[in-house]
């Protein structure tokens, strides 16, 4: 997923790494969900990691859109992890009372990949 609205999925072993950058629009999230779920249907994926290192600002609506994609993926039996959420983003989301209960997170992408290996 990048700033010009294209969806980028990187396959790493049996996981999918999705770098998140730029504005998280409805259209972009719908496109991401479509591409991701189609990919998950093939049945080779155990986990999905959203690399959040490129996100400096995120509001509660953006996070809710991300949640919808994550929950859809979880329903297909994969583990979804957020990695490298920035301090400002984490603080902002809880201060905005965003629903963060669904999110499982790791400090780094490597830790997320390591966690998925153990599944």
Partner 1 sequence: MMKHAEFRQLFDVTDADLEQVRVYGKRVTPYIDAFIERLYAFMRGALGEHFSVHFPDTRTLERAQAALRSAWLEFWQARWDAEYVASREHVGDVHAQLQVEPRHYLATMAHASKLWTEELAPEGLSETERRAAVAAVQRVIAMEAALVVDTYGRRTSEIINQQSHALIEMSTPIAALMDGVLMLPIVGILDSKRAQDIMRRMLQQVGDKQAVAFILDISGVAVVDTAVANHLIRMTKAARLMGCEAIVSGVSAQVAETIVELGIDVGEMKTTGNLKDALRLAFRLAGVEQKP
Q: Is 92 exposed, middle or buried (0-12, 13-18, 19+ CB in 10 A)?
A: middle
Contacts with partner 1, residue ranges (CB under 8 A): 82-83, 85-91, 93-95, 100-101, 103, 105-108, 111
- The least distance separating partner 1 from the CB of residue 17, rounded to whole angstroms, comes to 15
- CA–centroid distance for 119 within its chain: 18
Spatial distance between the Cα atoms of 20 and 66, rounded to a whole number of angstroms = 10
- The least distance separating partner 1 from the CB of residue 9, rounded to whole angstroms, comes to 22
CB closer to partner 1, 27 vs 87: 87
- The least distance separating partner 1 from the CB of residue 56, rounded to whole angstroms, comes to 13
């Amino acid at each position: 997923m990048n700033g010009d609205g294209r969806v980028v999925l990187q396959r790493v072993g049996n996981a999918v790494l999705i770098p998140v950058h730029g504005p998280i629009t409805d259209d972009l999230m719908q496109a991401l969900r479509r591409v991701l779920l189609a990919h998950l249907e093939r049945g080779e994926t155990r986990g999905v990691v959203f690399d959040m290192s490129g996100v400096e600002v995120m509001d509660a609506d953006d996070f809710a859109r991300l949640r919808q994609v994550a929950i859809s993926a979880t329903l297909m039996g994969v583990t979804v992890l957020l990695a490298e959420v920035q301090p400002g983003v984490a603080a902002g989301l809880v201060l905005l009372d965003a629903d963060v209960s669904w999110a499982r997170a790791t400090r780094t992408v490597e830790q997320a990949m390591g966690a998925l290996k153990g599944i």
